[in-house]
Amino acid sequence: MTTTYHDAIATGAPANASTFNGPLGDLDAAITQVDDRVDNIIASSGTSSTEVVDARGGYSVLDGRLDDLDLKNNVLLVDSSFAVTNTAAGRFKTITLALAQCSGGETILIAPGIYVENVTLADNDLKIIGSGMPAYDDASGRLVGGTIIRGWVRVGTVTGFTLRDFGVDVADLSTGANDCIGSGTGAFRADRVYMNLALRGYGDMSGAGNSTWAHGIYVTGSNNFLSNIKVHRCYHGIAVHGQHVNMVNIYAFACYGTSVVIKGKNGYDVYDVNIANLQIEGTLDFTNGRAGSLQIQNADATNTYDVNITNVVADYCVLGAFQIFLGMDNGTIHDINITNMISRHCQNLALLGDYQIIEVTNLTLTNCHSLQHGGTSFQIDDAPTVSGLRLFGCSADGSTSTRWRTVDAAFYDVLELNGDYWRRTGIILSPTIFGTFMASTVQGATSNGSVSVTAANTPIANLTGAGQTTEFMGMVFVFARNGVATANNSASYLLHIHKHYNNTTLNCTLVSSGGLTTGAASTSPSFTFNIDGTANTLRASPVGSTSGAFWFTFSCFGDIKALPV
């Protein structure tokens, strides 16, 4: 028996004949082979059980099959190049027209092109799938290629949707509440998927025109998954105000608020947030923008907790790499873990820290580093509300002005003077971090030679922070004598010194002293000490009969150096 079959091809061109000779068994093999070849040309939803369509006569196999398959599987096609909308055939020129035909559970496939429209999802379990994520064009500052919606997308409180493989560009919209993808608020089950999306806000490179409401994605509700999201020129890149949120492979460029903000808000707690692989690039625009990196806070009496973030690179951010605080001094923030984070070339306005820790309970930073930073690397601003702080394997390089600073004077006083402070407050520094921040600021003995001290307030040393800043704090051991090798008289003084960065706190406290400190003779090295916050000098005043030339040697511990005058 001889049987001839025609293999359908995707283009609908004339079929190629394949001839098989033999018994019925060979016929079965031929059918199987044809089915296998059909697998290679049918739509991705096809299987080998799909009927074979004869392609003779120039009939378009793929388009013909999709006509029937779309209707069966509730799939709607959107293509701006369609001559007309054909609702009965599921063919639409705009996304809005397709959405108007949805009642829930539909899939909308969008062809490549630019769609100038605002899109609102009103039904649950929709899938909006484009034909490719666009790229960001540096020259024009716009999204190009793939599928692009030039308008906002509103998802309200609908659940179960998937948005993937397209871009949202709101650069043509006026200022206002124009998030690229905006959401309603509330404690609802979201079950949302965002994948392969490029977003462009409407701020220019100076931040002009950027509203505090123009976020990339406003994430609310529970059970949200975000993967491969690229955000350009928004205010907050991604604002997380929901629960059970998982994010992976996030890129944010020139976001003038914060690239990723995790915030309890509108009375709803935020928890179980997991982020991996976050890349952030700011602009260091001090005049117009803030360009923060990663921020965790509360906006009202809510709670933010169980947040785990790993693998973060932040470059050129004005507000530094990381901030954590209670925005309205309400609620709680606790159990936060940041692992493998590198901040490079970041700066800070208003002397904020690269890693700024204000209010939190149980914060662990592991392998977090501050490189080429223009201000303070790690800063605790409000000690009474910080507890359970743990730093493991963290570091700051030598280019930073200050590696470690606490703005709260009482906090630093206890830190320096009470060896049990770390255990008592639950703050733990691993040997690596302790060696990086503390041992590197220990200054060995330095001598300034002979200084004539015959009047009060005689400068005997110049004071700086360990990173050559004009703020300093720590312990200074002063050894004074009335000569060098032949000194007969000596005295020692242990001073605790503190100068706040804005010169509002000046403190020079004598902790202990020994030797000839009563001023019994002119050669007795007996002095009281104070600091000049303007000249940044340590000054000595003679006691009793003390008067003459004396040698001073200084040893320092903490964020302080004493250098010869």
Domain boundaries 442-564, CATH class: mainly beta
Residue-level pLDDT at 426: 38
Residue-level pLDDT at 115: 97
Pairwise CA distance, residues 561 & 377, whole Å: 18
Residue-level pLDDT at 47: 41
User: Is the per-residue pLDDT at 379 higher than 80?
Assistant: no
What residue ranges do the domains of the chain occupy? 2-66, 442-564
Residue-level pLDDT at 150: 95
DSSP line for 82-95: -SS-BTTTTEESSH
496 confidence band (pLDDT: 50, 70, 90): confident
310 confidence band (pLDDT: 50, 70, 90): very high
The residue that leads in pLDDT, 325 or 187, is: 325
429 confidence band (pLDDT: 50, 70, 90): very low
Please write the tens of the pLDDT for every residue from 247-259.
999 999 888 778 8
Closest CA to 467 of 451, 443, 493, 486: 443
Residue-level pLDDT at 154: 93
Residue-level pLDDT at 4: 34
User: Is the per-residue pLDDT at 531 higher than 50?
Assistant: yes
Which two structure tokens, joined as six digits, stand for 159? Answer: 């659940």
Residue-level pLDDT at 475: 79
User: Is the per-residue pLDDT at 5 higher than 50?
Assistant: no
The residue that leads in pLDDT, 327 or 445, is: 327
User: Is the per-residue pLDDT at 40 higher than 80?
Assistant: no
Residue-level pLDDT at 404: 59
Please write the tens of the pLDDT for every residue from 98-138.
999 999 999 999 999 999 999 999 999 999 999 999 999 88
Cα-based distances in Å from 5 to 34, 47, 61, 242, 272: 8, 19, 16, 57, 58
Residue-level pLDDT at 402: 56
Cα-based distances in Å from 121 to 102, 165, 181: 9, 17, 11
The residue that leads in pLDDT, 564 or 83, is: 83
Residue-level pLDDT at 381: 65
H or E element: which one contains 67?
helix 61-73
User: Is the per-residue pLDDT at 480 higher than 70?
Assistant: yes
Residue-level pLDDT at 188: 77
191 confidence band (pLDDT: 50, 70, 90): very high
Residue-level pLDDT at 43: 40
User: Is the per-residue pLDDT at 44 higher than 50?
Assistant: no
Pairwise CA distance, residues 183 & 175, whole Å: 18
Threshold 0.75, pTM exceeds: no
Percentage of residues in the chain with pLDDT exceeding 90?
A: 31
User: Is the per-residue pLDDT at 509 higher than 70?
Assistant: yes
Q: Which residues pair with 474 in a beta bridge?
A: 497, 558
Q: How many CB atoms lie within 10 A of CB 184?
A: 14
Residue-level pLDDT at 199: 95
The residue that leads in pLDDT, 497 or 306, is: 306
The CA-CA-CA angle for residues 487, 488, 492, to 5°, reads: 80
Pairwise CA distance, residues 438 & 446, whole Å: 19
Lowest average pLDDT, out of 6-10, 167-171, 239-243, 277-281, goes to: 6-10
Residue-level pLDDT at 21: 45
* Averaged pLDDT, 357-361: 83
Cα-based distances in Å from 368 to 230, 255, 280, 311, 312: 23, 22, 15, 10, 9
The residue that leads in pLDDT, 489 or 145, is: 145
Percentage of residues in the chain with pLDDT exceeding 70?
A: 67
User: Is the per-residue pLDDT at 41 higher than 70?
Assistant: no
The residue that leads in pLDDT, 168 or 139, is: 168
User: Is the per-residue pLDDT at 387 higher than 80?
Assistant: no
Residue-level pLDDT at 541: 95
Most confident region among 54-58, 89-93, 430-434 by mean pLDDT:
89-93
User: Is the per-residue pLDDT at 449 higher than 70?
Assistant: no
User: Is the per-residue pLDDT at 272 higher than 60?
Assistant: yes
Query: Over the chain, what is the mean pLDDT?
Result: 75
User: Is the per-residue pLDDT at 345 higher than 50?
Assistant: yes
Beta strand ranges found along 22-151 (DSSP E): 75-78, 91-92, 107-110, 113-115, 119-120, 127-129, 135-137, 142-144, 147-149
The residue that leads in pLDDT, 412 or 145, is: 145
Pairwise CA distance, residues 545 & 547, whole Å: 6
* Averaged pLDDT, 414-430: 32
Residue-level pLDDT at 270: 93
* Averaged pLDDT, 480-506: 74
Q: Which residues pair with 232 in a beta bridge?
A: 200, 253
User: Is the per-residue pLDDT at 543 higher than 70?
Assistant: yes
